[in-house]
Amino acid sequence: MEQNKVVNYISPDAKIGRNVKIWHFSYVGSNTEIGDNVSIGSLTHIDYNVKIGENTRIEGSVYIPPLTVIGKNVFIGPAAAFTNDPYPTSPRMAGVILEDGTIIGGRAVIKPGIRVGRNSVVAMAAVVTRDVPPDTVVMGHPARIRYSRSEYDLKKEKWNSSQSLE
């Protein structure tokens, strides 16, 4: 019985840092730079001219379009999608910027040209249509500020130390 070979595509001119893990069936486009200690989940598409900072974790089935800049220590949940064309099929594109320490929940969608501020959290399935200030948590359709990052961290700590689902 012949083994199936798992195939990723990594552009020959992509710059890949040390200790980078790229899981099955992923794509990394031309002129992309990936920092050290990055993990990229299966079925993730990282297009050309993307920059990803060190210690970032990208879950599976994420779409990252051209011109996106992702800072250090970022988490991107499964099936998140960033966009770069506010009026498809315009020739003019605008990248998404995720500053250091941001968390993007699964299935979140981020509009072109958006900046998500340092240490901010975008909740799962949020649709981000405006810039997100640093140290805030946004939720909803469209995403709105719900509370601060420090409140998020307290809620997370409570969750981690309890048996309840709240």
Closest by Cα among 85, 40, 47, 75 to 61: 40
Domain that holds residue 112: 9-161
Any domain includes 3: no
Long-range contacts of 27-33 (CB under 8 A, 24+ apart): 29/66
- The count of structural domains within the chain is 1
Any domain includes 4: no
CATH of the domain at 57: 2.160.10.10
Q: Which residues touch 12 (CB under 8 Å, ≥6 apart)? A: none
Any domain includes 92: yes
Spell out the per-residue pLDDT of the chain, length 166, in tens: 455 566 888 999 999 999 999 999 999 999 999 999 999 999 999 999 999 999 999 999 999 999 999 999 999 999 999 999 888 888 889 999 999 999 999 999 999 999 999 999 999 999 999 999 999 999 999 999 999 999 999 999 998 988 766 6
Any domain includes 100: yes
Q: How far apart are CA 46 and CA 1, in angstroms?
A: 33
Any domain includes 30: yes
pTM of the predicted structure, to 2 decimals: 0.92
Any domain includes 77: yes
Any domain includes 2: no
